[in-house]
């Protein structure tokens, strides 16, 4: 891929996420109701290989955010091992994090790499992450650490 094309992709990704600033001190991406992943079940990405909306009646508070699940079994799985099921970077966009930005996500835009859930601000952000994935994850990891958090 040419340098010009890489820059164009980076600019496009930045413009897609630029309208959604997030406070730097937030550890988990939440909506105005303090709901993580817009109410989607984080375990379902692993067990059903697709986004599934959780139920407000099947919830759990973790790291100061409210998480919803599609079943009591999924809630129990998450409670037993939240680090396995919670999305990387507190649920912020992996593509944005690779560029040093904390941005909100679309629960329909996601990928699992090496058993870890990564969210995207859009399907375009996931497509961006799918090229040179290891390099972009390494950059995102470093940027996340720079913010003083680990995941």
pLDDT score of 127 more than 80? yes
* Domain extent at residue 31: 3-146
Domain count, the chain: 1
Q: What is the pLDDT of residue 5?
A: 52
pLDDT tens sequence across 11-58: 444 444 443 434 445 689 999 999 999 999 999 999 999 999 999 999
Q: What is the pLDDT of residue 146?
A: 87
Whether residue 151 is contained in a domain is answered as: no
Tokens 């940027």 found at: 143
pLDDT tens sequence across 63-99: 999 999 999 999 999 999 999 999 999 999 999 999 9
pLDDT score of 138 more than 80? yes
* Whole-model pTM over 0.85: no
């Amino acid at each position: 891929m040419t340098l010009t094309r890489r820059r164009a992709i980076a600019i496009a990704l930045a413009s897609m996420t630029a309208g959604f600033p997030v406070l730097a001190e937030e550890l988990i991406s939440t909506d105005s109701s303090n709901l993580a992943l817009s109410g989607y079940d984080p375990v379902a990405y692993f067990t059903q290989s697709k986004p599934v909306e959780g139920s407000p009646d099947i919830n759990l508070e973790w790291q100061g955010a409210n998480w919803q699940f599609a079943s009591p079994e999924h809630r129990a799985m998450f409670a037993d091992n939240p680090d396995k099921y919670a999305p990387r970077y507190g649920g912020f966009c992996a593509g944005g994090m690779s560029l040093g930005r904390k941005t909100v996500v679309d629960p329909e835009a996601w990928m699992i790499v090496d058993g870890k859930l990564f969210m995207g601000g859009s399907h375009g952000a996931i497509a961006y992450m799918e090229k040179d994935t290891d390099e972009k994850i390494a950059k995102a990891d470093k940027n996340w650490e720079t913010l003083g958090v680990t995941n």
